């Protein structure tokens, strides 16, 4: 996949539209992930995950934060469900913590863990909210990491077993499933740059992890289909909309597009790995992790593709050997997230930026949706994450987060433009429902449409939350 850019980016509209109507069946909602919100890390038999270990390791997370308490969602489930209902959320994408279901990543189901997600699903359905379950959002049971984690092929088979347990428990009520959230982050930040758990810095390990995550996806999809009649199955990928800094940068675009996007889209959606990716990384790995039959397992028909989009990625040819890390606020923990990205640098992009240092570029979302729909005709798309962190603070009982409202307006406009051009876009889930544990940045970055006071755990709906509620109510981008 190559994301094709419109030639005259600067002449495009500012995307600050209103009054645009979304179809009645277009799902608008919000997303979260287990480790980022649940807390209660030792409750009811939950085992440790790689994020418990990583976050309790000094120096890994800003402020030494951990997910131990997070926003205490595990203990505040009913009130949080009521809040979702108040906002009128049509769909809620949550993830299931594997170590709550299988504390050591293997063996029988932990009934208490299943019970929590069962109550969550029932609570959503009772309130008319569509559940969308993500099976893996980065919290691998630590015991599996101790056996090699995603560099170990066996982890993919353990994932299929875990999938079976969850599908059997929730499949009578959950129709929409996502296997993996952003496997690029799991592989390349977890085992390449070391910015994410488990914090390894080894390019060959990152490539092996990439393949075993793809394999895990391919093994899990038929399990869900076997158990859940009429299931709608997807994977969620964090696409990098890669743009050239100048006219010498075409090869840099190709390399990063291969590592970031085609490393997952090609095996999952088309079959096999891109030859240029194999060639670019051959000095790092011999790719012996791909065994006969693997590519057929991974290439499963999907019912929709989850698209996570936040900003664009600018690249330029560079005469150094090792890839230069990005200059836009991504953490550098010693390793590279781009094994094989030789000769590429990541210049600072034009602002404005969010508080993550990510550039705001709604045209990137429009380009991405158009490009995916061109390259994978017949595959419905859903924006499974889009949103922004800003340093907003409550003023009395209000949080006036105008920058986030503006960000969302512009990205919903981009999605609407894609719909108008014929993209089969089924929905849009805002990241995130709550302020939460933003991985390496701890609680220092707030993405929520609902503010959380981390001392009192008080929830305050931000102006962006009120704006989303109006959008959902009218299915029209508010003035």
Q: Which residues bind ligand IFM (CB under 6 A)?
A: 33, 36, 182, 308, 385, 431, 438, 447
Is 385 a residue of the active site? yes
CB of 447 to ligand IFM, least distance (A): 6
| Nearer of residues 38 and 438 to ligand IFM, judged by Cβ | 438
Q: For residues 22 and 439, which CB has a smaller minimum distance to ligand IFM in the complex?
A: 439
The residue among 357 and 478 lying less far from ligand IFM, judged by its C-beta, is 357
Cβ-based nearer residue to ligand IFM, 155 or 308: 308
Kindly state the smallest distance separating residue 438's Cβ from ligand IFM, in Å.
5
> By C-beta, is 169 or 210 nearer to ligand IFM?
210
> Shortest Cβ distance from residue 421 to ligand IFM (Å)?
26
Catalytic-role residue among 145, 232, 385, 438? 385
Closest CB 37 distance from ligand IFM, rounded Å: 10
Kindly state the smallest distance separating residue 51's Cβ from ligand IFM, in Å. Answer: 11
Secondary structure (H, E, C), the chain: CCCCCCCCHHHCCCCCCCCCECCCCCEEEEECCHHHHCCCCCHHHCCCEHHHHHHCCCCCCHHHCCCCCCCCHHHCHHHHHHHHHHHCCCEEEEECCHHHHCCCCCCCCCHHHHHHHHHHHHHHHHCCCEEEEEEECCCCEHHHHHCCHHHCCHHHHHHHHHHHHHHHHHCCCCCEEEEEECHHHHHHHHHHHCCCCCCCCCHHHHHHHHHHHHHHHHHHHHHHHHHCCCCEEEEEEECCEEEECCCCCHHHHHHHHHHHHHHHHHHHHHCCCCHHHHHHCCCCCCCCCCCCCHHHHHCCCCCCEEEECCCEEEEEECCCCCCCCCCCCCCCCCCCCCCCCCCEECCCCCCCECCCCCECCHHHHHHHHHHHHHHCCCCCEEEEECCCCCCCCCECCECCCHHHHHHHHHHHHHHHHHHHCCCCEEEEEEECCECCCCHHHHHHCCCCCEEECCCCCCEEECHHHHHHHHHHHHCECCC
Chain-centroid distance of CA 303 in Å reads 18
The residue among 185 and 223 lying less far from ligand IFM, judged by its C-beta, is: 185
Catalytic residue among 38, 182, 366, 438: 182
Nearer to ligand IFM, 65 or 385 (CB): 385
Minimum distance from CB of 117 to ligand IFM (Å)?
A: 18
> Which residue minimizes CB distance to ligand IFM?
33
Residue 375 appears among annotated catalytic residues: no
Strand order in the sheet with 241-244: 241-244, 312-317, 344-345
Q: Within a 10 A sphere around the Cβ of 263, how many other Cβ atoms?
A: 25
Q: Which is nearer to ligand IFM, 363 or 385 (CB)?
A: 385
Minimum CB–partner distance for residue 238 and ligand IFM (Å): 6
The distance of closest approach from Cβ of residue 34 to ligand IFM in the complex, given in angstroms and rounded to an integer, is 10
In a 10 Å sphere around its CB, with 0-12 CB exposed, 13-18 middle and 19+ buried, how is residue 384 labelled?
Answer: buried
Give the active site residues.
182, 385
């Amino acid at each position: 996949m190559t994301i094709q850019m419109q030639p005259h980016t600067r002449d495009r509209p500012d995307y600050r539209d209103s009054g645009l109507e979304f179809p009645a069946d277009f799902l608008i909602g919000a997303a979260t992930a287990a480790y980022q919100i649940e807390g209660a890390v030792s409750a009811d038999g939950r085992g440790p995950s790689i994020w418990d270990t990583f976050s309790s390791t000094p120096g890994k997370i800003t402020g030494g934060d951990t997910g131990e308490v997070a926003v205490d969602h595990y203990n505040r489930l009913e009130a949080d469900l009521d809040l979702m209902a108040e906002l009128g959320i049509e769909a809620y994408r949550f993830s299931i913590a594997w170590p709550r279901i299988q504390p050591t990543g293997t063996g029988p189901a932990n009934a208490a863990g299943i019970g929590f997600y069962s109550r969550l699903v029932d609570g959503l359905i009772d309130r008319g909210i569509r559940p969308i379950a993500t099976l893996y959002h980065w919290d691998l049971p630590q015991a599996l990491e101790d056996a090699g984690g995603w560099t170990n092929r066996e982890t993919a088979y353990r994932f299929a077993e875990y999938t079976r347990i969850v599908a059997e428990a929730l499949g009578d009520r959950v129709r929409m499933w996502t296997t993996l959230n952003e496997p690029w982050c799991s592989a390349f930040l977890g085992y390449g740059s070391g910015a994410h758990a488990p914090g390894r810095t080894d390019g060959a390990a990152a490539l092996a992890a990439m393949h075993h995550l793809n394999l895990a996806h391919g093994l899990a999809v038929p399990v869900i289909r076997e158990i859940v009649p009429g299931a709608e199955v997807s994977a969620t990928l964090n696409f990098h909309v890669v743009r050239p800094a100048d006219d010498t940068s075409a090869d840099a675009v190709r390399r990063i597009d291969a590592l970031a996007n085609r490393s997952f889209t090609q095996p999952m959606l088309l079959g096999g790995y891109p030859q240029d990716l194999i060639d670019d990384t051959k000095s790092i790995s011999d790719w012996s992790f791909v065994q006969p039959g693997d590519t057929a397992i991974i290439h499963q028909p999907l019912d929709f593709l989850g698209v996570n989009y936040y900003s664009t990625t600018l690249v330029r040819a560079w005469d150094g050997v090792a890839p230069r890390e990005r200059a836009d606020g991504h953490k550098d923990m010693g390793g590279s997230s781009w094994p094989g990205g030789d000769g590429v640098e990541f210049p600072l992009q034009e602002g404005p930026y969010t508080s993550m240092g990510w550039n705001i570029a709604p045209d990137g979302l429009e380009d991405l949706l158009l490009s995916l729909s061109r390259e994978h005709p017949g595959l419905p798309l859903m924006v499974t994450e889009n949103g922004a962190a800003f340093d907003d603070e409550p003023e009395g009982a209000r949080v006036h987060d105008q920058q986030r409202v503006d960000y969302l307006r512009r990205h919903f406009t981009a999605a609407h433009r894609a719909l108008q051009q014929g993209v089969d876009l089924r929905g849009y889930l805002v990241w995130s429902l709550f302020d939460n544990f933003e991985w390496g940045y701890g609680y220092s970055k707030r993405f929520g449409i609902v503010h959380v006071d981390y001392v009192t755990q008080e929830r305050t709906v931000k102006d962006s939350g009120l704006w989303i509620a109006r959008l959902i109510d009218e299915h029209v981008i508010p003035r």
